[in-house]
Amino acid sequence: MTREAAIARAEDYFDSGAFKSDLARLVAMPTESQNPERAAVLTAYVEAEMRPLLQGLGFACRTLTHPRAKGPFLYAERIEDEALPTVFGYGHGDVIRGLDKDWADGLSPWTLTEVGDRWYGRGVVDNKGQHVINIAALRAVLETRGRLGFNAKYLIEMGEEMGSPGLRELCSEQKDLFRADILLGSDGPRLNAERPTVFLGSRGGVTFDLTIDAREGGHHSGNWGGLLSDPAIQLAHAISTIVSPTGQIRIHEWVPKELPESVRRVLADCEVDGGPDGPAIDPDWGEPGLTPAEQVFGWCSFDVLAMKAGNPDTPVNAVPPRAWARCQLRFVVGIDPDEVLPALRRHLARHGFSMVRVEKSRDEIFQATRLDPEDAWVTWAVDSMRRTTGKKPAILPNLGGSLPNDIFSEILGLKTIWVPHSYPGCSQHAPNEHLPVAIAREGLALMAGLYWDLGNGTTPPLCRA
């Protein structure tokens, strides 16, 4: 009954092929939350797969719903002693659209396929593979010690890829039920494939549309060119006032006043590396004076996700009547999300672009969150992971992308520590999503070690009201 035995049991689960088999069964379920035709599959994932899996570990399970949600929530809990620490786990079983036709030859989003040292399939990293790793690690500790040594609560949602509608309201309504000491979850990528990583929150994200509707219909560019305003040109110039030619944000309300020293310190040894399949970093892009890690994990970024004017597929000789762009701001702690769009409208008006209509493109805004990198629970988690792997984990103050982390940190009041089981080049949300097998095996060991240490009585003191 040792820590090493629990880790070995988790590794045996991988080496036996059982993990691959279990994950293949889940990948075969097309849980596309953006597709209304998949509603029954979302329910089946919760009821036919997750419920029996967790009940088999002694969890009491119940299905929860909310009118705003795109699918059911599965809540599970195993309470061993109210005086023990309580860990809250989270995962989402829904996936982004499969994009079946765009996958490489021989690959399908709904079939787990091994190619070299990778497993391909939709959801292998986002997020089926990640929460199955964590649940399997719980089982390894339970079977080794005969008990967890802590209380565990778990929530599986089926609408994260739609912005987690209903999750915020559900957690507000169920604060007492979900009460815990710490969230220990897995989503997103590591800093790189080789380095175990913890991140402590996420950047926020707001997506919005910029539109200029100049007039009804296009007009011949020979007869009217030079007489009619061109909304495409106007919109391009409007966007150019938002960022410099090298991507530096020019709206002061959109950037933090400073980079906190604790954030700068933990990022000092973090190198952004997408691996051999990742893109080359443009060294002169973004905020001057920041390292690539500080750009992604400590600062804000603005991007134009799509633009359209006229008919791009079959251009005609006409001044277009309309121009449109979908844009996104990723922001860190210190930015007021309610002020993002009002600040943009004021900025555009000052620069003579009042004709640009600014509208939020989705209702849900992910908030920016960040646990203090010097928190005692962070030190505890990093020490545990170092002990398991012999490697120095990377500490990221927040994920570069967005998660509903503020729901857990602000509404439920949890310290939030995420241990990702993926890497930046995994093609998450794209065709050919894949999981390196080495990360999966190491993830099982990491989580078994963390869960073992949670139950051995050496965690930081609990702060309970």
Here the CATH number for the domain that contains residue 81 is: 3.40.630.10
Q: What is the pLDDT of residue 75?
A: 98
- Interatomic CA distance for residues 153 and 25, integer angstroms: 24
Cα–Cα dist 387/59, whole Å: 29
* pTM, to two decimals: 0.91
Q: What is the average pLDDT score of the chain?
A: 96
Q: Do the domain assignments include residue 284?
A: no
Q: What pLDDT, on a 0 to 100 scale, did the predictor assign at position 365? A: 78
| Residue 209 in domain | yes
CA nearest to 73, candidates 193, 3, 4, 173: 173
Q: Are residues 214 and 196 in the same domain?
A: no
329 and 219 co-located in one domain? yes
- Which of the listed residues 360, 392, 410 is the one where a domain comes to its end? 360
Could you tell me if 127 and 241 lie in one domain?
Answer: no
Phi first, then psi: give them for residue 191, nearest 5 degrees.
-60, -45
Please check whether residue 288 lies inside any domain of the structure.
no
Which structural domain range is residue 239 located in? 204-256+300-360
Residues 8 and 128 in one domain: yes
Residue pair 405/204 in contact by the 8 Å Cβ criterion: no
pLDDT at position 366 is 81
> What are the tens digits of pLDDT across the range 368-406?
999 999 999 999 999 999 999 999 999 999 999 888 899
Helices (H), 243-283: 261-267
- Give tens-digit pLDDT for 333-356: 999 999 999 999 999 999 999 999
Does 47 share its domain with 172?
A: yes
Q: 94-103, 170-179, 249-258, 279-288: which has the minimum mean pLDDT? A: 279-288
Q: What are phi and psi of 36, to 5 degrees?
A: -60, -25
92 & 114 share domain: yes
pLDDT tier for residue 103 given thresholds of 50, 70 and 90:
very high
Instruction: Provide mean pLDDT across the span 397-418.
Output: 94
d(CA 47, CA 265) in angstroms, rounded, equals 45
DSSP state, 273? Answer: -
- Decide which of 360, 384, 401 is a domain's last residue: 360
pLDDT digit string, tens, across residues 57-92: 999 999 999 999 989 999 999 999 999 999 999 999
19 and 157 fall within a common domain: yes
Crossing angle of the two packed helices 437-454 and 376-389, in degrees rounded to 10: 130
Verify that 175 and 197 share a domain, yes or no.
yes
What's the total number of domains in the chain? 2
**pLDDT band with cut points at 50, 70 and 90 for residue 180:** very high
Please indicate, yes or no, whether residues 196 and 208 belong to a single structural domain of this protein: no
Q: pLDDT tens-digit profile of 309-341? A: 999 999 999 999 999 999 999 999 999 999 999
Taking 70 as the threshold, does the pLDDT of residue 465 lie above it? no
459: CB partners within 8 A, 6+ apart: 85, 377, 380, 453
Q: Measure the CA–CA gap between 23 and 89, rounded to whole angstroms.
A: 18
| pLDDT value of position 363 | 66
Length of the chain: 465
Are residues 213 and 94 located together in one domain of the fold? no
The answer to whether residues 171 and 411 touch, using CB atoms and an 8 Å cutoff, is yes
- Tell which of 360, 382, 398 closes a domain: 360
Question: Within this chain, do residues 106 and 168 fall inside the same structural domain, yes or no?
Answer: yes
In a domain, 66, yes or no: yes
The proportion of the chain whose per-residue pLDDT surpasses 70, expressed as a percent, equals 99
Are 342 and 413 in the same domain?
no
The residue to which tokens 């992971």 are assigned: 385
In whole angstroms, give the CA distance from residue 150 to residue 365: 33
Cis peptide before 405 (omega within 30 of 0): no
List Cβ neighbours of 339 (8 Å cut-off, separation of 6 or more). Answer: 253
CATH code assigned at 351: 3.30.70.360
CA distances in angstroms from 432 to 17, 22, 198, 294, listed in the order given: 22, 20, 25, 29
